[in-house]
């Protein structure tokens, strides 16, 4: 928690977020799904994808990029698969529908994959893999996103941050939740640094010439105006540290989320400009572990693996070894009733509340 963060009641924050979305014609049920997704991100210590995104969604709904009442259609389906057209709706709504379909089909068929096209930004990838986790299933979630990332040795943005998540259950804890962008960081992290007037590590992004920069505002302005440069793939700007592997991971996510679904991909995403559909696509998977082996045996082995990782010999100066998702679960446990918000995000929410005549008592 930063010094200037404000603690706000989660119930009041949820009520406000739902109320704001309803004011721009989002049905109550869809508004509740979206608000839950955003607040889950804040509670897990990922403010870049939390309620800080709400104004962007409101603007997108007002200018037509996002559809408040989409006609979400199942294009085709079988016992273990489905393809969904999201109708340009909020990504959280489309994504939740798609993942629920995958969960239901996996219960019947043992495993299932669902792709979605014609959607929008869907929040943190881990939200959906954890939907499966809560049902005792192994969950997979990924999405393509706006071109923000330069391929290895390029200065032109073509790839998205294209996050992916895998969640696996364990017996003695919440399990392992891998939730990561395939870039060094997501764009939202740059926005957080810009709000805090902090300099970037030089391994995160490049300027318009393709050279590393520590100025988040410069990178964000260049991205907005398409001047050149952008975020770097996971591993950085060279092959020596594996930047080409991050490039490959991002491409993999785009193939599964965009090309496979018959949706937009690469530079086609967000290509229409302001007020035009974004074209985001998603990919979800669920596996009922019992089709391979008894789930309790799997969970026992996961416990053993987790303990092996955490009890391994520590590097000099290191105090603790974490497993993926552990920090986020700990953060979530710390904020059951309240959650910290950056003062600028808090102020923006107040402005939105005032604009729509809603009570602001966070």
CATH number of 342's domain: 1.10.1530.10
Task: Kindly state whether residues 136 and 259 are assigned to the same domain.
Answer: yes
For residue 205, the enclosing domain spans 187-230
What secondary structure does DSSP assign to 106-151, as a single string? HHHHSEEEEEEEEE---S-THHHHHHHHTTT-EEEEEE---S-BPP
Shared domain check, 163 and 102: yes
Asked if residue 107 and residue 47 are part of one domain, the reply reads: no
pTM: 0.94
Please report the pLDDT score of residue 187 as a whole number.
84
Q: Place 2 in a pLDDT band, splitting at 50, 70 and 90.
A: low
Q: Which residues of 74-91 are buried (b: 16+ CB within 10 A; e: fewer)?
A: eeeeeebbbbbbbbbbbb
What is the per-residue pLDDT across 263-297, written as a single tens digit (0 to 9) for each?
Answer: 999 999 998 888 889 999 999 999 999 999 999 99
Number of neighbouring beta carbons within 10 Å of residue 312: 9
- Mean pLDDT to the nearest integer, 306-318: 96
Answer yes or no: do 269 and 141 share one domain. yes
Picking from 208, 167, 119, the residue whose alpha carbon sits closest to that of residue 299 is 167
Residue 85: is its pLDDT beyond 70? yes
Contact 287, 111 (CB under 8 A): yes
The reply to whether 197 and 213 lie within a common domain is yes
What SS3 class is residue 307?
helix
Contacts of 330 by beta carbon, 8 Å cutoff, 6+ apart: none
206-218 confidence digits (pLDDT tens): 999 988 899 999 9
Cβ atoms 133, 167 nearer than 8 A:
yes
**Residues 177, 302: one domain?**
yes
Tell me the sheet residues that pair with 117. 85
Is residue 213 assigned to a domain?
Answer: yes
Residue 321 lies in a domain: no
Query: Could you read off the pLDDT of 92-136 as tens digits, one per residue?
Result: 999 999 999 999 999 999 999 999 999 999 999 999 999 999 999
Claim to verify: residue 4 and residue 129 sit in the same structural domain: no
Q: To the nearest whole number, what is the mean pLDDT of the chain?
A: 95
What interhelical angle do 10-23 and 28-43 show, nearest 10?
Answer: 140
**Given pLDDT bands bounded at 50, 70 and 90, which one contains residue 3?**
low
329 found inside a domain: no
Q: Does the structure show a pLDDT above 90 at 188?
A: no
Residue 195 has pLDDT above 60, yes or no: yes
Answer whether residue 195 is part of any domain.
Answer: yes
> Which of 226, 208, 218, 220 is CA-nearest to residue 271?
226
Same domain, 145 and 259: yes
């Amino acid at each position: 928690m930063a010094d200037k963060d404000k603690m706000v009641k989660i119930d009041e924050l949820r009520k406000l977020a739902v109320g704001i979305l309803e004011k721009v014609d989002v049905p109550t049920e869809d508004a509740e799904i979206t608000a839950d997704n955003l607040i889950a991100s804040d509670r897990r210590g990922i403010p870049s994808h939390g309620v800080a995104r709400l104004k962007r969604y409101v603007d997108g709904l007002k200018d037509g990029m996002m559809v408040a009442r989409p006609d979400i259609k199942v294009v085709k389906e079988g016992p273990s698969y489905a393809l969904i057209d999201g109708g340009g709706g909020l990504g959280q709504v489309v994504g939740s529908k798609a993942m629920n379909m995958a969960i239901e089909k996996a219960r019947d068929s043992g495993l299932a994959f669902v792709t979605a096209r014609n959607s929008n930004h869907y929040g943190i990838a881990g939200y959906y893999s954890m939907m499966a986790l809560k049902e005792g299933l192994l969950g997979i979630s990924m999405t393509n996103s706006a071109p923000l990332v330069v391929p290895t040795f390029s200065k032109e943005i073509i790839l998205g941050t294209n996050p992916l998540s895998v969640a696996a259950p364990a017996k003695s804890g919440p399990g392992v939740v891998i939730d990561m962008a395939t870039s060094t960081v997501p764009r939202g992290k740059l926005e957080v640094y810009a709000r805090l007037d902090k300099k970037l590590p030089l391994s995160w992004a490049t300027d318009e010439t393709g050279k590393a920069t520590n100025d988040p505002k410069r990178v964000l302005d260049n991205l907005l105006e398409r001047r050149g440069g952008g975020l770097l793939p996971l591993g950085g700007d060279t092959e020596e540290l594996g930047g080409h592997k991050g490039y490959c991971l991002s491409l993999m996510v785009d193939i599964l989320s965009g090309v496979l679904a018959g949706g937009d991909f690469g530079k086609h995403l967000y290509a229409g400009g302001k007020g035009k559909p974004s074209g985001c696509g998603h990919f979800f998977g669920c596996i009922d572990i019992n089709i391979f082996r008894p789930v309790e045996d799997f969970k026992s082995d996961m416990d053993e693996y987790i303990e092996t990782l955490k009890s391994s010999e520590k590097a000099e100066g290191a105090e603790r070894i974490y497993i993926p998702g552990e920090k986020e679960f700990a953060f979530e446990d710390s904020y059951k009733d309240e959650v910290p918000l950056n003062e600028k995000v808090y102020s923006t929410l107040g402005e939105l509340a005032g604009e729509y005549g809603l009570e602001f008592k966070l």
